[in-house]
A and B are shown apart, each in its own frame.
Chain A
Amino acid sequence: MKQKIRDILGKHGGLPVPVETLADDADLYAAGLSSFASVQVMLGIEEAFDVEFPDNLLNRKSFQSVDAITRAVSSLVGNAEAAE
């Protein structure tokens, strides 16, 4: 999952540095993730994992780091599985 998230960050994040150089807990906003790019990343993740972010996860904190995104996506994928 983390690699998939990193791929999406590389494609939509518009980061000035390669994603590979960032640790899982590195602050993506400090690394140059803009507000608009974070929205693009959100939409990219929704498409790739076939999930929909609920309102309470549509915020900066959910996209703060690779770890944070992984936690958010895990909770959504978990919910989807539980619902099936």
Chain B
Amino acid sequence: MDMQTSLLDRLFDSGLLIDTGVEGLYGRSGAFEDVIARFERLIDAFGGADGAEAMRFPPGMNRAHFETSGYMKSFPQLAGTVHSFCGGDADHMNLLQCMEVNGDWTKDQKATDIVLTPAACYPLYPTIAKRGRLPAKGGLYDLQSYCFRHEPSNDPARQQLFRMREYVCMGTQEHVTEFRQTWMDRGLEMMAKVGLDVTMDVANDPFFGRAGRMMANNQRDQNLKFELLIPVTSAAKPTACMSFNYHQDAFGAKWGLNLENGDVAHTACVGFGLERIALALFARHGMDIALWPADVRKTLGYQD
């Protein structure tokens, strides 16, 4: 039995995660959710005073915005679209007959205007662009959403539906790169406070295909993405639990995000993989929260 299956089995056995029969699609227990809620309060304790504007979107986004984002250029293999039955009575009869004989009833489903959100910040950019130019001090936003990525796996740290908490900063190059550095420092401090061993490393997104390999190399060469890695299922291959991304002016140009003086805005975001952080805590400190180290429990606000 490999390590990944074993952690997943322990999570199922302890009831922290609930098997649905689909890899990467799990229910969560109250205790698991409580860990995530407490960690989010720790994020608030570090970032709350920055005065970010909080916004919460459901886990689906406007398909037109998704198309503009260019996500299909880079990650077609990860996207999930929402399709529905749009036919009449005769189509309904055909549908039921097809299901009756275990046929492929999904092939006649029609695309809706909704696409599953691939990253918490995707609905933000068109929302901010619609407001007009950014204020003089730039923009800072706080987001959290379930996100979808089609990558079935028995690694509990690679789920298909998971939550991402994000802060997004818009402004000048100096402003947004300073924001990113601040959160890299905070990330290290936060994880130390909850007793997790971390390493910071330059990284790349999982761009698709050969063109994607060049995009990935470019991203690394320019130090555009860093990840904070924590052992979850393997000490040799730790899992990215936070990422720190500098988009240069790519999103600013794409969405028409402009500074007060009309210049194209630079953007950066910091993301927390909330399930991954919770899983790192359970993998490190054990399945029973009552037995976690006292200082970790205190940091997360558990009463002893």
Contact = CB atoms under 8 A, between A and B. Distances in A.
A66 to B, nearest CB: 18
In terms of DSSP, what is the predominant structure of the interface of chain B? helix
B218 A34 contact: no
A58 B219 CA distance: 12
Nearest to A62: B214
A58 to B, nearest CB: 4
Contacts of B91: none
B222 interface: yes
A59 B214 contact: yes
A60 B217 contact: yes
Interface residues of A, number: 13
Interface stretch (A17-25, A36-44, A75-83): A36-44
Interface residues of B, number: 13
A43 B211 contact: yes
Interface string A7-45: 000000000000000000000000000111011001100
B218 A60 contact: yes
B213 interface: yes
B250 A42 contact: no
Contacts of A38: 214, 218
Contact of A36 (B213, B215, B217, B221): B215
B218 A35 contact: yes
Contacts of A59: 214, 217-218, 221
Contact of A42 (B70, B73, B214, B219): B214
A59 to B, nearest CB: 4
A53 B213 CA distance: 11
Given A59-B221, A60-B221, A60-B222, A39 B250 contact: no
B73 A36 contact: yes
A55 interface: yes
A29 to B, nearest CB: 10
Contacts of B215: 35-36, 39
Contacts of B219: 35
Nearest to A56: B217
Nearest to A52: B210
B211 A42 contact: yes
Given A34-B250, A60-B222, A39 B211 contact: yes
A46 to B, nearest CB: 9
Contacts of A61: 221
A53 B217 CA distance: 13
Interface string B73-88: 1000000000000000
Contacts of A39: 211, 214-215
B214 A58 contact: yes
Given A42-B211, A43-B211, A60-B222, A35 B250 contact: yes
17 contacts: A35-B218, A35-B250, A36-B70, A36-B215, A38-B218, A39-B215, A43-B211, A53-B214, A58-B210, A58-B213, A58-B214, A58-B217, A59-B217, A59-B218, A59-B221, A60-B217, A60-B221
Closest 6 CB pairs of A and B: A58-B214, A59-B217, A39-B211, A35-B218, A60-B218, A39-B214
